[in-house]
Amino acid sequence: MLRTGQLESIAFFEQSLQKAKACSKRFICKVEKIMNIHPLSVYHFYHELGLTERFYWSNQENSLILTGIGTLVPFHHSTEEQYSAIEKEWKRFGDEVYIEQENCFGTGPLALGGFSFFDTYKNDQDWKEFGTAHFYVPRLMVTVTNEGTFITSNYEINDQTSLEDLLLQYKEYDDYLEQYGMKQPTFTQSECIDKDEFEPDEWVQSVKNAIQQMKDEHLEKVVLNRTLNATFSSEVNSSKVIYELEATRNVNYVITYQLKDTVFISATPERLISKKKNTVSSMCLAGSAAKGKSKEENAEASSWLLNSKKNNDEHAFVVNYIKETLRHYCDNLSIPSLPRIMATKSLFHLYTPVEGSLLNHITLFELIQALHPTPALGGFPKDEACKLIRELEPIDRGWYGAPIGWIDLNGNGDFAVGIRSALVKGDKARLYAGCGVVQDSKPEEEFYETGVKFLPMLNALGGLRNER
C-alpha cells in the first residue's frame, strides 16, 4: 500500500468507527503523511474515481498547495444570507465528524469554495451550479506544505457501516493514488480560434458615465469590469491551464473550482483575508501600470506608478477602508505608511500588506463579509459604488472579484478575490477584467489596462502566444 500499512489502517478504522458511532458522529477523517504524490496528477485524473468536483489551490507564497476531489458534503446556497448560512452548516459538520488527533495547517476536514460578488443575480444561467455560495468537503485531498505532503481522506458512516466498508473505500483511494498520484498528465494543445471583447464601445461609454456621476454625486471610486468571450479549437483542459499558470507565476495564486462541466479559474494576485490562529493577514492592491519590454521601461513604469496621484489616490481608498474595517476586529494592526510595488507577469501594482491580531470570538466568515467588496473590487463608498456597478455592467459578475478559498474546523483559512479569472465550459471561456475608475480616469487608458489584464489568463487557456 502507498500509505500506512494494512495492520495500522485496520486498527485506525476499527477504533475510529467504534468511537464515532458511540458519539453519534456521521463522518470519519483520516490524515496521513506520505511521499511521491503530485497534487496536479491527483487533480487531473479525478474522473478515474467517477468524481465530478475538484478544487486546486496554490497560495501566493507557494507555501501551500491543495487539491480536493469529490464531494463528501456540499454546502450550496442561492440566498441573500449566504455567509451566515455557510458558517452554520460548517459548524454543524464540525460537530458530526470524528477526528483522531489535531492536524497540521491545511490538512484534515476543510471546506473548499467561495461566494458570488453580489448576493443576487440578474440572470444566473452561467453561474447556476455555483449559486451565491458553494463549498464542499472533499472525499480525498492532497496538501503540500513546507512540512511535507499529506493525504486527507473523509468517510461517511451510519449505523450499518462496517469496518470492511471503510477498508474497501480506503483501498479504492489508495489504489488511485498508487496508479495516478505521480502519473504525468498529457495534454492536447488547444488554441484560441475566436475572441470577442463584449461591447467595447459601450464599456468605454460606461466609464465616461461613471466619471460624470462621480462629479455629480457623492462617489469617489467605482470598479468596472468587462468581459471577453473566447472559443478554442478543443475543450479547455483546466489541468493544462494550471500547468501554464504555475509555470509563469510569481506572486499570484492559482485557483480552480470545478462543478460538473463548468470550472472557474483565477490567477489572482490579491488576498482578501487569511487567518492562522489569532493572526490575520490582508492586503491592499490598487493602482496599476503595464510592464515594459526592457529593464529601463520597467523601471520607468514602476517609478511613474509610485508617483501617480491618480493611482495613489485609488490605492488610499483601499488602505483606509481595510484599516477602518479591521480595526473593529483586530488589535495591533500593522500597515506601512507608503505602498510598494508588486510585479505580476504583465503589470505593476501598488501594494500595501496588512497584518493584525484578531480579537476573541471573531470568525473568518465574519471578516470576509465585513471586508467584501473592498474598494479594490467595488469602489467607495461601498453601497453607492455597488449600486452603480449593477446599473452599468450588463453581465453578472458571478464569482469574479468575490471571495474564494478554504477554511478548517479551527476557523483557520485563506481567501483570495477571484480576479484575473475565467469561467470555462467545454471549448468556451468568458474572461473577466476590471479597473478602478476615479474622477480623473481616462476611459481609453482604462480600456487598455483591462486588455492587458486579460492576457495572462487568455494565454494559459490556449490563447495568443505572441502577446505579452
Cell numbers at 217, concatenated: 454625486
Cα–Cα distance for residue pair 336/180, rounded to 1 Å: 46
Q: What amino acid is encoded at 160 in this protein?
A: Q
Q: Is 102 a catalytic residue?
A: no
List phi, psi (to 5°) of 326: -75, -25
- In 3D space, the residue among 291, 224, 275, 320 whose CA is nearest the CA of residue 411 turns out to be 275
Enumerate the β-bridge partners of residue 417. 403
Catalytic-role residue among 220, 270, 384, 446: 270
- In 3D space, the residue among 120, 149, 156, 136 whose CA is nearest the CA of residue 28 turns out to be 156
Q: Is 270 a catalytic residue?
A: yes
Give me the count of residues in the chain: 468
Cell numbers at 256, concatenated: 480552480
Cell numbers at 296, concatenated: 529601463
Cα–Cα distance for residue pair 467/463, rounded to 1 Å: 9
Long-range contacts of 5-14 (CB under 8 A, 24+ apart): 9/167, 9/170, 10/163, 10/167, 12/100, 13/163, 13/166, 13/167, 13/170, 14/163
Catalytic-role residue among 221, 275, 291, 453: 221
How many CB atoms sit inside 10 A of residue 41's CB? 18
Do 206 and 425 touch, CB atoms closer than 8 A?
no
Q: What SS3 state is found at 288? A: strand
330: CB partners within 8 A, 6+ apart: 280, 356, 357, 358, 359
- In 3D space, the residue among 455, 192, 465, 462 whose CA is nearest the CA of residue 345 turns out to be 455
Do 290 and 359 touch, CB atoms closer than 8 A?
no
104: CB partners within 8 A, 6+ apart: 145, 147, 150
Cell numbers at 10, concatenated: 485496520
List phi, psi (to 5°) of 402: -105, 165
Burial of 353 by CB count in 10 Å (0-12 exposed, 13-18 middle, 19+ buried)?
Answer: middle
The catalytic site residues sit at: 221, 270
